Structure 1
Amino acid sequence: MSDLPRKAVTRTAKLAALPLGFAGRSAWGLGKRIGGLSAELVGHDLQQRTAEQLFKVLGELKGGAMKFGQALSVFESALPEEIAGPYRATLTKLQEAAPPMPTSTVHEVLAEQMGEEWLELFQEFDDQPAAAASIGQVHHAVWHDGREVAVKVQYPGAGEALVSDLAQLSRFARVLGPLIPGMDIKPLITELRERVTEELDYDLEAEAQSLYAEELADDPDVVIPDVVHQCPQVLVTEWMEGVPLAEVISEGTEEERDRAGQLLARFLCSGTARTGLLHADPHPGNFRLLPAEESGDGAGEWRLGVMDFGTVNRLPGGLPPVIGTALRMVIDGEADAVYELLCAEGFVKESIELEPAAVLDYLVPVIEPAQADSFRFHRGWMREQAARIADPRSPAHQLGKQLNLPPSYLLIHRVTLSTIGVLCQLGATVRMREEMEAWVPGFAEDEDEDEGVGEGVGAGGSPEEPSSAAETPA
């Protein structure tokens, strides 16, 4: 296997070939239509061929290209089902694996970061990587004290690759956009670029993971591996077995899917309230289902294992209360109150006037999961929502173009949409309202606005680290 392609000219050439390939296939598609095939059939074929080429290139390049692919992958539920199958298979490969770097390179990084005698820190070290991600790969090993560990080694040149790839991809945002209906690609790439420096620093990742592990140490439902050793480009954590969430999506039973979905929703809603950090990389490759320890009667339930804390949003007070308050108002049908709150928070610009009832109609379908006692997430529902927002002829599309997402809410918005995408891939039935009432400030109807939710956590203010991008809320 080759090393991570590091020369900017090589990476740029590969990425630059993508839109040229798209243009070539579009011309091919026009020929097919002239030959008598319907626009719908030709469009589906083009989308499938485009997806195959896109994710083949992203997987080979790793770096920012693969990071973009992983972020995009959770939205495959929005694709028409007849082409989602091949697309899904390609995306799953991105989530779980990528071509590994040579063993000699791995040893060089370990020696540079941990010292020439690095091997003495381990009882065993497997040179064959157990998993690969966008900026590093993971090796299974046994630490000197006998603990099984995961050793994440950063690819040399990963920083340069991230910056170069995302800068190049931002130029193609308009071309890449049609891959996922209703998804604005450019703000996603912009936000990924702004997180580059933080994600490259494994010391920061270790700090975030340690905080989560400490706060959730006694949690019966969620497992966070402890940090064992850290360096700027090498991170050693406790090893975690379990069933990859991608495998649950493809082969899991209904019970496993529902359990995974419930735990994922609980982690999304409760994690920030309990730690002040939002885990901001919710693609299936970062989650496992683990068998719970058996109780006294011999019964046990699955737990959710969570990995990769390289991308987090720091929200010391938890989620902004305006989110829960606005969602509750939408459920209660309080159109004027919702509109007034959205205007005050900058979701509606001062220069724009909208009809409160129309805004309410736009939002109601999005919060369906929180209205019922339980809600079954599924790909059909996701496609309906994507089509509603993406169709230029629809009132929802026209209204969505006039709404504004304040930069400070961008990452929260993306994480929420991504988690919903994974829940739809699972096809899980989830008691979302229950989790939101327990953990989301402002959502519970009988909640005192001056008091916190969940386990006594205070209500949060605006997010502390805003992104500079803007995105239309969906």
Structure 2
Amino acid sequence: MPDSERSIPKGSVARTARLASLPLGAAGRATLGIGKRLSGRPADAVAAELQQRTAEQLFAVLGQLKGGAMKLGQTLSVFEAAVPEEVAAPYREALVKLQEEAPPMPVRTVHAVLAQQLGGTWRERFRHFDDAPAAAASIGQVHRATWRDGRDVAVKIQYPGAATALMADLNQLARFARVFAALFPGMDVKPLIAELKARVIEELDYGLEADSQRQFAAAYAGDPEIVVPRVVASAPKVIVSEWLDGIPLSKIIADGTREQRDRAGLLMAQLHFSGPQRAGLLHADPHPGNYRLTRDGRLGVIDFGATARLPDGHPEPIGRLLRWALAGRAEDVLVDLRAEGFIRAGIEVDAEGVLDYLGPLLAPIETDRFHFTRAWMQEQAARVADPRNEASRLGRLLNLPPAYLLIHRVTIGSIGVLCQLDAAGNFRAVLEEWLPGFTE
């Protein structure tokens, strides 16, 4: 078997060993914590130290791996804003690295994949090809090149054996859900992993991704606020598209200006709500590594491996439910929630209690200006996760219908990025323009 077919599976034993170290490490730290409590240290201090050590190990391991481990790490990274600052600080840098960095493929493997996908004369298609990757992600890496017509292009190449590694990692990680619970209280990671597994086939199909990118590029061609690079060529494991320069959102999150933060946040919201109406697709991977802020102030979108097909646009009931809730029409909200399956048959809930539960979550669209902050997201996460709160009890009675699962996950993920950006702006106006049912 050639090296190009072994680059990921070859290290499967080492990968499994690294993943297996997560629950073992957690168990060891818990034992250490019991000892420290017995020696007189306060329980809260011990818990905080254990959480910090778990975070450091978790993201150190995820950062060394491709496949499902890195994919999960990238997905979790958008929820970093919900973690208390004293816990988030030690591993924020590792989370950012997960968004855009990974160990590169050997050059000979890169060339072998290009020959297999683009033909033995693949070099003739390029004036220049840079063997050093410009970026790497969970299932592929990107190289900068010059196409034969002189255009600067990005060449996205899938890791050989990515499918095997991706599924093996996700199956393994599903068994370690309790480790993640220590870092993200109230978040059930198992459904998140199940959803990632369900979407693996789509993300591995670069032909499907290229089609989605073409669809987005056509919908936003010439748009003054959002830019999508055009696809130049594609194959099952390679996509060549126009190169897009810009400031990565991870850099704006780290040290961007107020203007950059607000601009990026508002345009992210616009992409989220306008995509289904304009392209019939929802961009479903809202982590900062997928976005750039261009020199002329547009939001550049560079990855379309995860999209949801919404040919009829955003479901109208979402906008209508938000409109009823903002107007305080508790009974109408309850009726629509039941009709859409958010409340199962036989479950009794108080209509006003539902409004009390939803109210704080609607703050971003109550007025013409809202400031997304980590503190706000941490407050909401704590409110719905604390079993002593009525909001938490009510939340457990609500159901998330399958048709809304991905929309919900992408919306929450996007909000997480807005909080990392510390973005402020008129987000209500975006919904008024693009969300069906939000206005009469």
Asked if Structure 1 and Structure 2 have the same fold, meaning a TM-score greater than 0.5 normalized by the shorter chain, the answer is: yes
Task: Report the counterpart of residue 437 of structure 2 in structure 1.
Answer: 442
Q: Distance in 1 between matches of 2:431 and 2:185?
A: 27
Task: Report the counterpart of residue 247 of structure 1 in structure 2.
Answer: 251
1:214 is matched by which residue type in structure 2?
A: A
Q: How does 1:181-192 map to 2 (within 5 A)?
A: 181-192=185-196
Q: Does 1:389 align with 2:384?
A: yes
Residues 173 and 185, structure 1, Cα contact 8 Å, conserved in 2:
yes
Cα drift, residue 4 of structure 1 = 3.1
Q: Can you list the C-alpha shifts for 1:404-425, whole angstroms capped at 9, x where unaligned?
A: 0001100000000000000000
1:355 pairs, out of 339, 350, 370, with 350
Task: Report the counterpart of residue 451 of structure 1 in structure 2.
Answer: none
SS of equivalent to 2:132? coil
Task: Report the counterpart of residue 166 of structure 2 in structure 1.
Answer: 162
Q: Distance in 2 between matches of 1:360 and 1:287?
A: 34
Residues 77 and 421, structure 1, Cα contact 8 Å, conserved in 2:
yes
Task: Report the counterpart of residue 340 of structure 2 in structure 1.
Answer: 345
2:415 is matched by which residue type in structure 1?
A: I
SS of equivalent to 2:19? helix
TM-score (norm 1): 0.90
The size of the alignment, in residue pairs, is 435
Q: Distance in 1 between matches of 2:376 and 2:427?
A: 15
1:81 is matched by which residue type in structure 2?
A: E
Q: CA separation of 1:3/1:49 partners in 2, compared to 1, >3 Å: closer, same or farther?
A: farther
2:225 pairs, out of 203, 218, 221, with 221
Cα drift, residue 83 of structure 1 = 2.3
Unaligned runs of 5+ in 1: 293-301, 448-474
Task: Report the counterpart of residue 86 of structure 2 in structure 1.
Answer: 82
Unaligned runs of 5+ in 2: 1-5
Task: Report the counterpart of residue 29 of structure 2 in structure 1.
Answer: 25
Q: Can you list the C-alpha shifts for 1:379-414, whole angstroms capped at 9, x where unaligned?
A: 000000000011111111111111100011000000
SS of equivalent to 1:123? strand
SS of equivalent to 2:322? helix
Cα drift, residue 54 of structure 1 = 1.3
Q: Can you list the C-alpha shifts for 1:267-310, whole angstroms capped at 9, x where unaligned?
A: 11111111110000000000000011xxxxxxxxx110011101
Residues 3 and 100, structure 1, Cα contact 8 Å, conserved in 2:
no
Identity within the alignment, %: 60
Q: Identify the range of structure 1 (55-64 vs 224-233) with the bigger mean alpha-carbon deviation.
A: 55-64
Q: Can you list the C-alpha shifts for 1:242-269, whole angstroms capped at 9, x where unaligned?
A: 1000000001011110111111111111
Q: Does 1:309 align with 2:313?
A: no
1:164 is matched by which residue type in structure 2?
A: A
SS of equivalent to 1:291? coil
Residues 76 and 87, structure 1, Cα contact 8 Å, conserved in 2:
no
Residues 9 and 164, structure 2, Cα contact 8 Å, conserved in 1:
no
Larger helix proportion, structure 1 or 2? Answer: 2
Task: Report the counterpart of residue 283 of structure 1 in structure 2.
Answer: 287
Task: Report the counterpart of residue 426 of structure 2 in structure 1.
Answer: 431
Q: Identify the range of structure 1 (330-339 vs 181-190) with the bigger mean alpha-carbon deviation.
A: 181-190
1:401 pairs, out of 396, 403, 411, with 396
SS of equivalent to 2:292? strand
Task: Report the counterpart of residue 372 of structure 1 in structure 2.
Answer: 367
SS of equivalent to 1:405? coil
Residues 152 and 242, structure 2, Cα contact 8 Å, conserved in 1:
yes
1:43 is matched by which residue type in structure 2?
A: A
Q: Distance in 2 between matches of 1:118 and 1:216?
A: 30
